[in-house]
Structure 1
């Protein structure tokens, strides 16, 4: 069942068709008196812009309403609820496969950029190994994130929703009534594409380093911020500042920026989908990242 993109109230149909598919009427939410989903009439470019701007309505549209069958006023025949749920479940898994393939391909291209720009030959075995590593890291991130998110929902008794609890009509939550675990992975995939595409676009003006992390020569004229203050700091603190400055100067800032953007986007998307608190969502996203990083480190040690 679709939901209202304004208040997440569940609905039977987002819009109704008359005679032709172009003659439609948007449904109105009985709780907030707004159109259930105005994005149904918007082109894909507007939806992409809303996704870049992280508007909450676009997540509800993509996860719950996109592709939902309308009500045909001429035939007057409504598709049964089990059949609609089966159609929706099939479409969600298809979208997950499509978005996952695009995400893995984009991440693999980002990792191959340094090799291509350095005019080194890329063998088929390198392509297979890199794509396999990206696939394993993605699986680890999604499994850990989904498991922790489902655990948090179970602790809250939010999912699976119990049938013995009577919810008032004005308190119904379409996200809970139509929730599926695959929606967590889909949210991560939708929010991961924007940083990857941004990194691919920036690579036009930016010469990638020979690895995923940039190594720039440290300059001797680096000025310590703490040493300029009229306060005497311990030597250990000054050494820590120098180490952090050295690590920052030798890091790939575009990679860090895009990954930070991806983390914030994933957290925001999960906040729209799930009823978790901000610190819970942050912990879930960070745990998924750490799992993917550990898998990447293990694969590097295994190849070494």
Structure 2
């Protein structure tokens, strides 16, 4: 059953369709008395932008409400048909995980290949040769292994955490949980990898931009001009130079810091738990991912330099 993206109250339908598909009316939530899900009227571009901005409502729409059948004017939906629809939604969700995961793994492999790949080819050499193809294939398989073990570790950690909570509750311990009944009843394990893939869109979008528009090798440092204006105060120069390319690894910050924050935010949406628990789950996934990165680094790299670059880029 879909939920309200504002208060997570369960609602039978999100909108009502009348004579044509374009003639619809949004349903009002019985809990907060607002529209249950306004995102049903928005296009994919708005959804993508709100995903990058980490808006909780768009995550709830994509994870819990996407693909739900509307109420059709003049017809009644039987309960058995509703059950078949819910089963079809779960099946479609796993298909979406496979499609979205495959596309994002390929994109991640291209970003890493662009970062790890040696310098530009010599004059007269083709821009893409057999060695580049082999390197890309190795990186692709390495990304697939890392993604699989990362998602598997997080799913195992979430399942363990929820099992411990249920066991303690059955023993009479009062486990404080902020999860609403709507989130609890609609929680499925398939939501975990899907939420992680959605959260990775933010970091992959920024990493893709960084892989295309790389900074110049000798960037202009405005700190020297500022020093002249401000009587050459050293602390201003040091503060500005912290943002230079030789002082900070933007790719590492985006992949690990921003990526970890996005993944933790997505897990909070589906688990509706304390931020500390989400952080612990992410740490478990990072540990599993780090172990896999060390295992496959020698094979993915093919040589010592590429293997070290893979580890430096992959390990948090």
Query: Which TM-score bucket, shorter chain as reference?
Result: 0.7 to 0.9
Q: 1:201 aligns with which of 203, 206, 209?
A: 209
- After superposition, the Cα gap between the structure-2 partners of 1:250 and 1:53, relative to the gap in structure 1 and judged at 3 Å, is closer
- SS of match in other structure, 2:21: strand
- SS of match in other structure, 1:22: coil
Asked if residue 267 in structure 1 is aligned to residue 281 in structure 2, the reply is no
Asked if residue 182 in structure 1 is aligned to residue 221 in structure 2, the reply is no
For residues 290 and 251 of structure 1, what CA distance do their matches in structure 2 show? 23
- SS of match in other structure, 2:32: coil
* Contact 1:106/1:197, CA 8 A, preserved across alignment: no
Number of positions where the alignment pairs a residue of Structure 1 with one of Structure 2: 259
**Paired position in structure 1 for 2:274:** 277
**Paired position in structure 1 for 2:163:** 154
**Cα distance per residue 1:10-60 (max 9 Å; x no partner):** 122111110111111111111111111000001111111111111111111
Q: 1:140 aligns with which of 140, 149, 155?
A: 149
Indicate the larger mover: 124-133 or 54-63. 124-133
**Paired position in structure 2 for 1:86:** 87
**Cα distance per residue 1:186-235 (max 9 Å; x no partner):** 111001122112111122321699xxxxxxxxxxxxxxxxxx9xxxxxxx
TM-score by length of 2: 0.75
**Paired position in structure 2 for 1:67:** 67
TM-score by length of 1: 0.77
The structure with the greater share of residues assigned to helix is 2
Q: 2:120 aligns with which of 104, 118, 121?
A: 118
* Contact 2:203/2:259, CA 8 A, preserved across alignment: yes
For residues 255 and 67 of structure 1, what CA distance do their matches in structure 2 show? 36
- After superposition, the Cα gap between the structure-2 partners of 1:208 and 1:61, relative to the gap in structure 1 and judged at 3 Å, is farther
Indicate the larger mover: 255-264 or 188-197. 255-264
For residues 34 and 150 of structure 1, what CA distance do their matches in structure 2 show? 33
For residues 141 and 97 of structure 2, what CA distance do their matches in structure 1 show? 18
1:117 CA drift (Å): 5.5
1:179 CA drift (Å): 1.1
**Paired position in structure 2 for 1:4:** 4
- After superposition, the Cα gap between the structure-2 partners of 1:127 and 1:301, relative to the gap in structure 1 and judged at 3 Å, is closer
For residues 66 and 104 of structure 1, what CA distance do their matches in structure 2 show? 23
- SS of match in other structure, 1:16: strand
- SS of match in other structure, 1:206: coil
**Cα distance per residue 1:72-93 (max 9 Å; x no partner):** 1133344623212112101211
Write the mapping of 1:234-245 to structure 2, written as runs, cut at 5 A.
none
For residues 288 and 216 of structure 2, what CA distance do their matches in structure 1 show? 26
- SS of match in other structure, 2:16: strand
1:108 CA drift (Å): 0.5
Asked if residue 36 in structure 1 is aligned to residue 36 in structure 2, the reply is yes
1:275 CA drift (Å): 2.9
Asked if residue 254 in structure 1 is aligned to residue 256 in structure 2, the reply is no
**Paired position in structure 1 for 2:294:** 297
* Contact 2:206/2:254, CA 8 A, preserved across alignment: no
For the aligned residues, what is the CA RMSD? 2.7
- SS of match in other structure, 1:5: coil
